[in-house]
Amino acid sequence: MNRHELSTEHADLRAAVETFAQTEVAPVIGDFYERGAFPYEIVAKMGRMGLFGLPFPEEYGGMGGDYFALCLALEELARVDSSVAITLEAGVSLGAMPLHRFGSEEQKKTYLPRLTSGEALGAFGLTEPDGGSDAGATKTTARLENGEWVINGTKSFITNSGTDITALVTVTAVTGEREDGRPEISSILVPKGTPGFSVGQKYSKVGWNASDTNELVFEDCRVPEANLVGERGRGYAQFLRILDEGRIAIAALSVGLAQGCVDESVRYAHEREAFGGSIARYQAIQFKIAEMEARTYSARLAYYDAASRMLAGEPFKKEAAIAKLIASNAAMDNARDATQVFGGYGFMNDYAVGRFYRDAKILEIGEGTSEVQKMLIARELGLPA
């Protein structure tokens, strides 16, 4: 992949998802959003398009593509709606990717075909009520007892965890103590319906209202010892790898929201008349939209670069953090400016920019806050931890 140009395959995919987003998502998603309803039919259509299988091998039902293809799809979906985009992002990078990267062959054959087809969704149980950004302070525990892991604890803010098509959640849990006295953290797969595993009521959220987010509770939840994902004690390191990749995906989603703000603002500026003509004539409006486009352009180049480094097998931790930081800032700034361009109408949920404004803030928090991204960048520059 050239760091600034799309291959024919990537360009065709981007165009196909753009058409899908504009024709299948845009006309109906506002109703789902306001009702707080999960858009099952839209998700099913994305599955039939192969979007959930984009970066996975064909032997597991995937499309044989790459992670950049996923990012392009996320950007186009988020130009219209972030709830749909985050459902895809979490289903792929957090639900299926841990199994693809670290799971046993049996786990892959059992679960990946359903996840890559979009028939089922997976979730990743990392965040805890008292943990937040300090994921290393995991309190959920899992002890081995008669060939089974017995899991106890609570996970919070878990996407795709309570839908009718959720099949599993991979959770991080303390499974012992390391030689240096720090907790040994491992990843364990828990199928939906396992006794002792319950899904709490969904959260009342500011944004992403057509996506699924729940608290998860484990009370003496028992799964086979073979449900360990990857090596025992490597769960923390595994999740760091997953988050590095996921930050590129969230950057792409953020760029999509930022671009959607530009698209809507340009359209509205031509349509809206005030003081004898369209507001597009006024330099104040032109400059505001020009700044929005500049932010979006810069953020897109940042995630393109991070993705290209990842695909080339080069170090990309710093670049992923930079992309996520820049893109989430661009999304938040553009959402604020787009709302200003729309004036009073921007404060109405009938308009897409109202949703964009509500959806933008979480992008500066999820999969690593902006403060965490700055910390990671500083460490990669050799500054003390």
Q: Which residues are designated catalytic?
A: 367
Phi-psi region of 276 (alpha: psi -120 to 50; beta: other; left: phi over 0): left
DSSP alpha helices (H): ranges in the chain?
Answer: 8-20, 29-35, 40-49, 67-78, 82-89, 97-102, 105-116, 235-271, 283-311, 317-342, 352-360, 370-380
Please tell me the distance from the alpha carbon of residue 75 to that of residue 53, in angstroms, as a whole number: 16
Neighbours of 99 (CB within 10 A): 24
Please tell me the distance from the alpha carbon of residue 83 to that of residue 90, in angstroms, as a whole number: 11
**Would you state the structure tokens that stand for residue 293, as one six-digit string?**
């486009």
Give CA separation, 224 vs 102, 148, 227, 239, in Å: 17, 4, 6, 21
Helix axis angle, 317-342 relative to 235-271, nearest 10°? 30
- How many helices and strands in the chain, by DSSP H and E? 12, 10
